[in-house]
Amino acid sequence: MEINSFNKLEKPFFHLSYNSYIFKKLYESTCENFENNSKKFVAMIDGQKCRNKKSFFKEFAKKLKFPDYFGDNWDAFDECLNDLEWLDAEQYVLFIENFNLIFENDEKNLEIFLNILVDTVGEWKMGREYGALQPPPIPFHIVMYSDKDIINDLQIKTHNEQINLF
């Protein structure tokens, strides 16, 4: 994969990497390309800070600037991740480093998180529905770094054809 950020990508994807160098270069390039464009948002989530639900919600709320009313529960997380209205962006790229450490010993919460991610990518791709109001699709990318074993496992768990390895 050429390291030139997500500037020209229109379709949302999960991008999974087991190459730390490429992951970091892609993040740096994306930040650089988004730096002067207030309508593009990029964030880095550190899986080391997401080992349990409390720290997980804290890390995501901080990095995605969730509103104060965020309720630290899965329903509120799902709602906020599929809204992001307060960021007012036309494109989102979420980098997740050390993905293998997220809920490292908690399969149930990891599965809930993965289901929300898959649904979120689909919702942003199709355009979200708010009754009579239907905003257009917005590019929403998730880039994860982890070891190869967890990546293969993730592909099996999500059954998502939009997962790309690099």
Whether 2 shows a pLDDT value over 70: the answer reads: no
Position 59 scores a pLDDT of 98
State the average pLDDT over residues 130-134.
64
For the sheet with 14-17, list strands across it.
Answer: 40-46, 91-97, 140-145, 14-17, 163-165
The structure's pTM equals 0.81
DSSP 99: G
Q: What is the pLDDT of residues 91-121, one digit of tens each?
A: 899 999 988 899 989 989 998 998 898 888 8
User: Contact at 8 Å (CB) between 118 and 71?
Assistant: no
Q: What phi, psi does 93 have (nearest 5°)?
A: -135, 120
Buried b (16+ CB within 10 A) or exposed e, 36-48: eeeebbbbbbebe
Between CA 10 and CA 49 the distance in angstroms is 30
Mean pLDDT of the residues in the chain: 81
User: Contact at 8 Å (CB) between 133 and 92?
Assistant: no
Q: Which of 40, 140, 139, 158 is nearest to 99 (CA)?
A: 158
